[in-house]
Amino acid sequence: MKKSQCWQLVEYFRAGGSLTVAESLHKFGIYALSQRCGEVNAHPNIYGIEIESETVSVNGKHFSRYFEKVKKELFE
């Protein structure tokens, strides 16, 4: 059985990965990355992680990069 797009993202982020929309389209065929990340964040009891994003600028172009939110208590 094929994994859902949300579960594919969760596994990728848990392994330490980060993605832009272009990367998620290439790696997983996911175009609506922000929506899938929103679905994961809406159900933390199911997926067990929280995803956050940051705005990145390259050559004057701005885009978002998504990654797993690291809990601060891990470093205290």
CB 36 within 8 A of CB 30: yes
Rounded distance between C-alpha atoms, residue 76 and residue 74, angstroms: 6
User: What is the model's pLDDT at position 72?
Assistant: 55
Q: What is the pLDDT of residues 30-69, one digit of tens each?
A: 999 999 999 999 999 999 999 999 999 999 999 999 999 9
Q: What is the pLDDT of residues 3-30, one digit of tens each?
A: 899 999 999 999 999 999 999 999 999 9
User: What is the model's pLDDT at position 52?
Assistant: 95
Q: Which of 23, 35, 67 is nearest to 6 (CA)?
A: 35
pLDDT band of residue 71 (cuts 50, 70, 90) is: low
In eight-state DSSP terms, residue 16 is: T
Rounded distance between C-alpha atoms, residue 23 and residue 16, angstroms: 15
Q: Residue ranges per domain, the chain?
A: 5-75
Rounded distance between C-alpha atoms, residue 63 and residue 53, angstroms: 10
Structural class in CATH, domain 5-75: mainly alpha
